[in-house]
Amino acid sequence: MAADEDPLDACTGFEWDEGNAHKNWEHGVSPEEAEDVFFNEPLVFRSDVRHSKREKRYYALGQSRVGRYLFIAFTIRGSRLRVISVRDMNRKEKDAYAKHEKESGA
């Protein structure tokens, strides 16, 4: 994959397993709200090299349609985006997201 390619461009949907969906609901985030983040701007995502032992992982910072600031850890399997974990952003993540919003003019 070229450095300037967006790995999300090849995604055609989402993949959930029962355990992850249940774990994320404990944080009060439904699968639908987590998926919603990927359709809103701005979306900040980066490679998560610290947690990429067996497969390449990413994290995203974004807002759901209702304005909730969420942190999402995910991987891409084939053409599906698989959410590993989702929760509310912490203060440091919110600050990074706000900085990106300001720089991008969003």
Specify the pTM. 0.84
Q: What pLDDT is stored for residue 40 in this prediction?
A: 92
How do beta strands 44-47 and 57-63 pair? antiparallel
> Containing H/E element for 39?
none
Q: pLDDT by residue (tens digit) across 16-38? A: 887 776 677 777 899 999 999 99
Q: pLDDT by residue (tens digit) across 70-95? A: 999 999 999 999 999 999 999 999 99
Q: Look at residues 68, 67, 49, 69 and name the one whose alpha carbon lies nearest to residue 58.
A: 49
* Distance from C-alpha of 36 to C-alpha of 39, rounded to nearest angstrom: 6
